[in-house]
Amino acid sequence: MENFTFKNATKIIFGKDTENQVGKEAAAYGSRILLHYGGGSIRKYGLYDKVMRSLKDAGLNVIELGGVQPNPRLELARKGIDICRKEKVDFIVAVGGGSVIDSAKTIGAGVPYSGDVWDFYAGKAVVEKVIPVGVVLTIPASGSESSSSAVITNKDGLYKKGFISEMMRPAFAILNPEITYTLPAYQTACGAADIMAHIMERYFTTVKNVDLTDGLCEAALKTIIKNAPAALKEPENYAARAEIMWTGAIAHNDLLSTGRIGDWGSHKIEMEISGLYDLAHGAGLAVIFPAWMKYVYRQDMERFARFAVKVWNRDPDFYDIDKVALAGIESLENFFKQIGLPVTLKEANIPYDRLEEMAGKCTQRGPIGSFARLETDDVLEILKMAK
């Protein structure tokens, strides 16, 4: 096990009707609030009214900025920074999924910074101060509700990039599984794939003697494998929605990385796809992760065989570990298909003419991944295997 420091300061408020607590929670941090949200789902399903009522009841001044698109855009975050400065906003409430939360985090980091907020993403500056963010989560997927990272798309150059700062972990996150009943099946499935990917990025490590977190990762994966199909079959199944929502937060709050070194190669490759083609992040991961696995599994076949046996209940075979390892990858791929996700670039409607460009951009700052170090040619191979 590696040395580690673990601190996740996000307060989690979980369960039915908890969105009504947002005003009280936000009031502990400020009085002038930016309410940030996405395209329309929160108005359509009545969440907007509840959140607004709670904020007003707490005596808060609310300034609004909606319109965050999936794969959130830098331009809107810049607009949010201007609004916050002009209106002297001291706290941001993000009501939505990863896209809204990441846009809110970007605004929060950008307001006190004298340069352009893209500097953080370009690696030219580090965050020293933020306007804090509170979250009402509407889709379990990104884990951004308690993560230290944000991901944004800069259409100038078609860059989708992320950066990490401990200061960006939200102050609180309100998780009511009932809010997720209205998710389209495709978004539920994309969320499940992203949650699984966050766990697998950590699970596939070269660090030895990490029994506790190995077991936690396996349990977390099995929870999604059991509950995602249940939620798809019965969207208002509270028990299934609750399991998915809590697993989504645990998958990316860094508990599962304690003592380990994660890989993150698949995420980096996927970001090139969703950055260029505006594909949902989870769908891109369903395409890339199995291809990545087929490319790298020989580096530690025993770990892949363990994944097959412990997570997917495939039969062990000590005389043919290769076969067992491949069976686990096959199970993952079948699961993604079963929940309605694409598993090839073709199925995701991604053309093949820019694979080299994506591989180049992805490795611009050097090789990616840790379980497997991937150079540009390796990434290109993986993209070709995903065809």
| Binding-site ranges for ligand NZQ (CB under 6 A) | 38-42, 70-72, 96-100, 102, 138-139, 141-144, 147, 149-151, 179-180, 182-183, 187, 190-191, 194, 252, 267, 281-282
- Residue 18 interacting partner from ligand NZQ, Zn ion, none (CB closer than 5 to 8 Å by kind): none
Phi, then psi, of 104 in degrees rounded to 5: -65, -40
Q: Which is nearer to ligand NZQ, 144 or 363 (CB)?
A: 144
- Residue 265 interacting partner from Zn ion, ligand NZQ, none (CB closer than 5 to 8 Å by kind): none
Please state, in angstroms and rounded to a whole number, the distance separating the CA atoms of residues 159 and 168. Answer: 21
Q: Which is nearer to ligand NZQ, 38 or 327 (CB)?
A: 38
Shortest CB 137 distance to ligand NZQ, Å: 8
H or E segment to which residue 312 belongs = helix 312-312
Written as six digits, the tokens of 158 are: 């078609």
- Residue 333 interacting partner from Zn ion, ligand NZQ, none (CB closer than 5 to 8 Å by kind): none
Residues making contact with Zn ion (CB under 5 A): 194
Length, in residues, of the chain: 387
Shortest CB 162 distance to ligand NZQ, Å: 6
Residue pair 273/358 in contact (Cβ under 8 Å)? The answer is yes
Shortest CB 44 distance to Zn ion, Å: 25
- Residue 106 interacting partner from Zn ion, ligand NZQ, none (CB closer than 5 to 8 Å by kind): none
Shortest CB 35 distance to Zn ion, Å: 25
Phi, then psi, of 306 in degrees rounded to 5: -60, -45
Q: Which is nearer to Zn ion, 111 or 141 (CB)?
A: 141
Residue pair 39/7 in contact (Cβ under 8 Å)? The answer is no
- Residue 97 interacting partner from ligand NZQ, Zn ion, none (CB closer than 5 to 8 Å by kind): ligand NZQ
Shortest CB 385 distance to ligand NZQ, Å: 21
Q: What is the 3-state secondary structure (H, E, C) of 183-209?
A: CCHHHHHHHHHHHHHHHHHHHCCCCCC
- Residue 174 interacting partner from ligand NZQ, Zn ion, none (CB closer than 5 to 8 Å by kind): none
Nearest residue to Zn ion, by Cβ distance, number only: 194
Shortest CB 295 distance to ligand NZQ, Å: 20
Q: Which is nearer to ligand NZQ, 40 or 115 (CB)?
A: 40
Helices in 10-133 by DSSP H: which ranges?
Answer: 22-27, 41-44, 47-57, 74-87, 98-110, 118-121
Please state, in angstroms and rounded to a whole number, the distance separating the CA atoms of residues 188 and 218. Answer: 20
- Residue 146 interacting partner from Zn ion, ligand NZQ, none (CB closer than 5 to 8 Å by kind): none
CA-closest candidate to residue 58, choices 12, 37, 27: 27
Radius of gyration (Cα) for the chain, nearest Å? 20
CA-closest candidate to residue 261, choices 200, 202, 220: 202
- Residue 144 interacting partner from Zn ion, ligand NZQ, none (CB closer than 5 to 8 Å by kind): ligand NZQ
Q: Which is nearer to ligand NZQ, 192 or 309 (CB)?
A: 192
Shortest CB 298 distance to ligand NZQ, Å: 26
Q: Which is nearer to Zn ion, 18 or 188 (CB)?
A: 188
Please state, in angstroms and rounded to a whole number, the distance separating the CA atoms of residues 313 and 77. Answer: 45
Q: Which is nearer to Zn ion, 19 or 194 (CB)?
A: 194
* CA distances in angstroms from 3 to 259, 261, 318, 372, listed in the order given: 6, 10, 33, 21
Q: Which is nearer to ligand NZQ, 184 or 215 (CB)?
A: 184
Shortest CB 324 distance to ligand NZQ, Å: 29
Instruction: State whether residue 210 is helix, strand or coil.
Output: coil
